[in-house]
A and B are shown apart, each in its own frame.
Chain A
Amino acid sequence: MASFTLNGKPVKLAADPKSLLLWTLRDEIGLTGTKYGCGAGLCGACTVHVDGKAVRSCMTPLAAVEGRKVTTIEGLSPDSSHPLQKAWVEQAVPQCGYCQSGQIMKAAELLSVNKKPTRSQIVRHMDGNICRCGTYHRIIAAIEQASKEV
């Protein structure tokens, strides 16, 4: 059994506590916005929030989120209205888009603790999230834009 809060709603699953959060979210619960990129904590595509902190769901067993609050890209806002999501569209950040849920969740963590990050703070915070399509400069621009709104 596993129980936690997911995007504001309680979930209870008959699941092995050793199962990984990533695959549970994607295949059991059907929230596929969180992506598999490396499965080894190296790329950040699977980033979600646990109690507001960015974690890599590909390395997180269900036991570790027992009783805690999990937020995925689908729960960041009900209608893509989070300042980061709006800025992401305005700056036309995504290319293939596959890394972007993880990028946005990682960036949301930053803005929740630092409302006006400098460029170097952004780079330090985001450096673990790979974007193979090379959208890094637009990610920075979008975070800077969103930081004016939060």
Chain B
Amino acid sequence: MTTDLQSGISRRAFLQGAGGLAFCAAVGADGFRLVSQAQAATLANTLVTPWVRIAPDGTVTIFTAGAEMGQGSMTSLPLILAEEMDADWNKVKLEWAPADPRFYGYTFNNVQMMQIVGSRAVQLYYAQLRVAGAQVRKVLIANAAQKLGVDPATLRTEPGFVVNPAGGQRLSYGEIAAFGEIPAQLPAVDPKELKERKDFRLIGKQVARRDLPAKVNGTAQYAMDVKLPGMVYASTLHSPVHDATPAIWNGVQPNTPSSEPESWNDAEVKRMKGVIDVVKLPNGVAVAADSFERARAGRNALKVVWKKGKAEGFDSARAMEDYARVYADPGAKVSPIETKGDVKAVFAGAAKTFEAEFRSDYGYHAQMEPLNAVVRINDAGDRAEVWEGSQAPDASRKAVAQALGLKEEQVTFNQCYMGGGFGRRSLGDYAAECAQVAKAVRRPVKLIWTREEDIAQGMFRPQSFQCVEAAMDASGKVTGWKHCVVGDGEFLLQTGIRIPYYGVPNQSIERRGVSHGVKLKHWRAVGHVFNVFAIESMVDRMAADQGMDPIEFRMEKMGASPKARKVFEALAQMSDYKAPRPSGRAVGISITERSNSLGAGAVEVSLDRKTGKIRVHKVWVAVDGGLIVQPEQARHNVESAILYGLSSVLHERVTIKNGRVEQSNFHDYKLLRMSDLPEEMHVQFVDVDTRPTGLGEIGNPFIAPAIANAVFRLTGKRLAHLPFTPDKVLATLKA
């Protein structure tokens, strides 16, 4: 087993390895498919690239498109392919797939992409990787059959071997690779030929993540750790006032000015020790120096006059109050998200109606590794290489090419481990910026944003205002549902706002957009955080009003779907839901969907009424995540998301005043620490035999409403503004 991943291996080198079989991937209408090397040679060169290689010594090299930020997909994706080809996992070597979505991308909305976002990796690569693995296995069997002079149908495979039960022969994959040939046309695979679940040897089993060993001895390579001959260091200062376009989360324009620098103390900074150059960027000023400390000192000494940005004068607290006015304004522009039945009529005829408002502040990703990249450009200026930890190598490569005025083919992207991603690392913005500096100073550059810059230039989970209304008939059944979310960030605002797990017949769900120029981005389930908070707080409120148990209310009065019932049942059982709790503690529950998974969760909470500090003692989550490819890693993902959610709920808020982010480091942007850790966390997967669904974020959104609902049980008060910092809790208790 090996943990050293190499990047940037050329297609040629891969194909020309010391003999063996190389299976290539070619672009097809619905994603990649494998083709033989011979076929590859007849196709246009640019359309084929290697995916699997079997060496005569039995080593199987599989490219992994699973960008790794701790979620484990670097291991899960090749493991799926290895399963179907029946590879010996101990002989499988992984290499990062090149940044070319035509071969290594999945298909989403008819586009080939490699973005590892929205917990998509396993669910969207699963089917194609299985077919690819099965094709490789079929070719190996066919070659063995020819050699042994038997019917291929009589042969079986064991990990790394083709076996002939009748004759007792065993041919290793390596042996076959030494003589074997790949037919010009690779065999087709009928879905019925794929392994049955009971035959899996890797999927659903305990298989160690490949990145672990390097992460306990300091050898794991993050972009932060890359060092090139002649490399210099740079750090950037951007305008503290954001100047973002409304859909910046969807892509960046590296050469388009925003909050441009007008003038700065250029001569003074250039005189500083070790400073090599001060570089004007379309949206900032970078200082390059012979060490990072000197680059940072130069950056800290910059005094820049900036062009006005769109967020000039912006005040996040005031904006929040404006949102309430936007909600009340009958003339406001509305984007409908879901419209079902006759909401007007059902509210008019309701036995009872409910209405509540919710607010949620901006959130920052706070990935542990501050944003950074390394770029080298050749002397001729027609080739560039990038090292970055990226959730979207394809997007990053494109941004760098744009920044340098090159074609994408002229840019090589080298993937690195990410010190956290959480949705921030999928644009290539800082890599493009590094490329601009490298071009200006004509040397390889490592560009590092200081933590302070990383926060000031954060791309936040948007703040929001919401109003939820519900209509109930005389039997207590919820028949009408209205949900309006107001804020900036367009699509980001509406993830998780639909309620497909409930059967409310009449619905009107809408978004009302404003635009502040503040940079916004996906953030581990983003809109789910505040939308699920609002939805599940409202449902709990109605349950309490009806004097019903919250789970029973959801089953009986909200029309919970069969899938939802299953996770609620599992949750009730695993948490011994009805058991009495120690005095001063209460349990709150909620449910969320994300990336086609469904999760119901419960928390056991206590509250210090003097300080307003909430403590979560125990957490239970029951998840329907389809077929689980790596159970241990899946559990770890959910636990990680629980704590990410808990951190955001208890501590995290970005505030903006006078257009400037007020927080600057971890003393004022507080994160969960070990002392906040619940004493117990339990994660259970409901066993279902469907294709896998996303698991990286399902553990996150449920926790805000679950905590709020538990606090209600303790105090009779409803928390309605995220995060639940002690000051807000005390204010709610007094209200």
Q: Answer yes or no: do A and B interact.
A: yes
Q: Which residues of A contact B (CB under 8 A)?
A: 19-20, 23, 26-27, 30-40, 42-43, 45, 72-74, 76-77, 80, 85, 88-89, 92-101, 104, 122-124, 126-140
Q: Are A96's CB and B368's CB within 8 A?
A: yes
Choose one: B71, B422, B666; the contact of A130 (CB below 8 Å): B666
Taking the closest CB of chain A, its distance from the CB of B226, in whole angstroms, is: 9
The count of A-to-B residue pairs whose CB atoms sit within 8 angstroms is 162
Taking the closest CB of chain B, its distance from the CB of A72, in whole angstroms, is: 7
Which 8 residue pairs are nearest across A and B when measured between Cβ atoms?
A: A33-B218, A134-B643, A95-B70, A98-B419, A97-B215, A96-B70, A32-B225, A94-B215
Given A27-B227, A134-B644: A94 and B211 within 8 A (CB)? Answer: yes
Given A94-B70, A94-B211: A132 and B224 within 8 A (CB)? Answer: no
Taking the closest CB of chain B, its distance from the CB of A105, in whole angstroms, is: 10
Given A20-B293, A27-B291, A99-B368: A89 and B213 within 8 A (CB)? Answer: yes
Q: What A residues does B370 contact at CB under 8 A? A: 36-37
Choose one: B368, B420, B451; the contact of A40 (CB below 8 Å): B451
Q: Are B673's CB and A89's CB within 8 A?
A: no
Q: Which residues of B contact A (CB under 8 A)?
A: 69-71, 208-209, 211-220, 222, 224-225, 227, 233, 291-293, 296, 366-370, 417-422, 448, 450-451, 632-633, 636, 639-644, 646-647, 665-667, 671-675, 677, 681
16 A-B pairs, CB-CB below 8 angstroms? A27-B292, A31-B218, A35-B224, A80-B217, A89-B208, A92-B212, A92-B632, A94-B70, A97-B419, A127-B673, A130-B368, A130-B666, A134-B641, A134-B644, A139-B674, A140-B674
Choose one: A35, A39, A73, A139; the contact of B217 (CB below 8 Å): A73
Given A73-B218, A85-B216: A96 and B418 within 8 A (CB)? Answer: yes
Q: What A residues does B665 contact at CB under 8 A? A: 38, 40, 42
- In the bound complex, CA of A34 to CA of B451 (Å): 16
Q: Are B419's CB and A35's CB within 8 A?
A: yes
Given A35-B369, A40-B667, A89-B213: A95 and B218 within 8 A (CB)? Answer: no
Majority DSSP secondary structure for residues of A touching B = loop
- In the bound complex, CA of A139 to CA of B368 (Å): 16
Choose one: A39, A40, A80; the contact of B213 (CB below 8 Å): A80
Q: Are A136's CB and B674's CB within 8 A?
A: yes
- In the bound complex, CA of A123 to CA of B675 (Å): 6
Further 11 A-B residue pairs, CB within 8 A, beyond A42-B667, A129-B674: A36-B370, A36-B448, A37-B368, A80-B213, A85-B216, A89-B208, A94-B211, A94-B215, A96-B368, A132-B671, A138-B636
Q: What A residues does B640 contact at CB under 8 A? A: 95, 133-135
Q: Which has the most chain B C-beta neighbours within 10 Å: A96, A99, A138?
A: A96
Taking the closest CB of chain B, its distance from the CB of A30, in whole angstroms, is: 7
Q: Are A88's CB and B216's CB within 8 A?
A: yes
Q: What A residues does B292 contact at CB under 8 A? A: 23, 27
- In the bound complex, CA of A104 to CA of B219 (Å): 14
- In the bound complex, CA of A122 to CA of B674 (Å): 9
- In the bound complex, CA of A100 to CA of B292 (Å): 22
Q: What B residues does A35 contact at CB under 8 A? A: 222, 224, 368-369, 419
Q: Are A19's CB and B666's CB within 8 A?
A: no
- In the bound complex, CA of A128 to CA of B213 (Å): 24
Q: Are B666's CB and A40's CB within 8 A?
A: yes
Q: Are B451's CB and A80's CB within 8 A?
A: no
Choose one: A20, A33, A92, A133; the contact of B219 (CB below 8 Å): A33
Q: Which has the most chain A C-beta neighbours within 10 Å: B70, B211, B225, B642?
A: B70
Q: Are B368's CB and A101's CB within 8 A?
A: no
Q: What A residues does B677 contact at CB under 8 A? A: 123, 136-137, 140
Given A98-B368, A134-B644: A38 and B217 within 8 A (CB)? Answer: no
Q: Are B211's CB and A85's CB within 8 A?
A: no
Q: Are A80's CB and B216's CB within 8 A?
A: yes
Q: Which residue of A lies closest to B290 (CB)?
A: A27
Taking the closest CB of chain B, its distance from the CB of A133, in whole angstroms, is: 5
Q: What B residues does A122 contact at CB under 8 A? A: 674
- In the bound complex, CA of A33 to CA of B675 (Å): 26
Q: What B residues does A129 contact at CB under 8 A? A: 674
Q: What A residues does B216 contact at CB under 8 A? A: 80, 85, 88-89, 93-94, 100, 104
Taking the closest CB of chain A, its distance from the CB of B234, in whole angstroms, is: 13
Choose one: B417, B632, B675; the contact of A96 (CB below 8 Å): B417
Q: Are A45's CB and B368's CB within 8 A?
A: yes
- In the bound complex, CA of A95 to CA of B225 (Å): 18
- In the bound complex, CA of A104 to CA of B216 (Å): 8
Taking the closest CB of chain B, its distance from the CB of A130, in whole angstroms, is: 5
Q: What B residues does A123 contact at CB under 8 A? A: 674-675, 677
Q: What A residues does B70 contact at CB under 8 A? A: 94-97, 133
Q: What A residues does B218 contact at CB under 8 A? A: 31-34, 72-74, 101
Q: Which has the most chain B C-beta neighbours within 10 Å: A34, A93, A98, A128?
A: A98
Q: Which residue of B lies closest to A77 (CB)?
A: B217
Q: Which residue of B lies closest to A86 (CB)?
A: B216
- In the bound complex, CA of A42 to CA of B643 (Å): 19
Q: Are B420's CB and A132's CB within 8 A?
A: yes
- In the bound complex, CA of A31 to CA of B225 (Å): 9
Q: What B residues does A77 contact at CB under 8 A? A: 217
Given A20-B293, A96-B70: A43 and B666 within 8 A (CB)? Answer: yes
Q: What B residues does A38 contact at CB under 8 A? A: 451, 665-666
Q: What A residues does B71 contact at CB under 8 A? A: 95
- In the bound complex, CA of A135 to CA of B215 (Å): 13
Taking the closest CB of chain B, its distance from the CB of A115, in whole angstroms, is: 20
Taking the closest CB of chain A, its distance from the CB of B241, in whole angstroms, is: 23
Q: What B residues does A40 contact at CB under 8 A? A: 451, 665-667
Q: Which residue of A lies closest to B72 (CB)?
A: A95
Q: Are B643's CB and A74's CB within 8 A?
A: no
Choose one: A26, A37, A138; the contact of B451 (CB below 8 Å): A37
Q: Which has the most chain A C-beta neighbours within 10 Å: B218, B370, B419, B667?
A: B218
Q: Are B369's CB and A98's CB within 8 A?
A: yes
Choose one: B217, B293, B366; the contact of A74 (CB below 8 Å): B217
Q: Are A134's CB and B647's CB within 8 A?
A: yes
- In the bound complex, CA of A73 to CA of B209 (Å): 21
Q: Which residue of B lies closest to A73 (CB)?
A: B218
- In the bound complex, CA of A95 to CA of B448 (Å): 22
Q: Which has the most chain A C-beta neighbours within 10 Å: B220, B291, B419?
A: B419
Q: What A residues does B417 contact at CB under 8 A? A: 96-97
Q: Are A97's CB and B451's CB within 8 A?
A: no
- In the bound complex, CA of A93 to CA of B213 (Å): 11
Taking the closest CB of chain B, its distance from the CB of A124, in whole angstroms, is: 8
Taking the closest CB of chain B, its distance from the CB of A83, in whole angstroms, is: 11
Q: What A residues does B219 contact at CB under 8 A? A: 33
Q: What A residues does B674 contact at CB under 8 A? A: 122-123, 126-127, 129, 136, 139-140
Taking the closest CB of chain B, its distance from the CB of A80, in whole angstroms, is: 5
Taking the closest CB of chain A, its distance from the CB of B402, in whole angstroms, is: 28
- In the bound complex, CA of A132 to CA of B451 (Å): 14
Q: What A residues does B296 contact at CB under 8 A? A: 39
Taking the closest CB of chain A, its distance from the CB of B704, in whole angstroms, is: 16
Q: What A residues does B448 contact at CB under 8 A? A: 36
Choose one: A26, A97, A130, A136; the contact of B220 (CB below 8 Å): A97
- In the bound complex, CA of A33 to CA of B418 (Å): 14
Q: Are B666's CB and A32's CB within 8 A?
A: no
- In the bound complex, CA of A76 to CA of B218 (Å): 10
Taking the closest CB of chain B, its distance from the CB of A88, in whole angstroms, is: 4
Q: What B residues does A43 contact at CB under 8 A? A: 368, 666
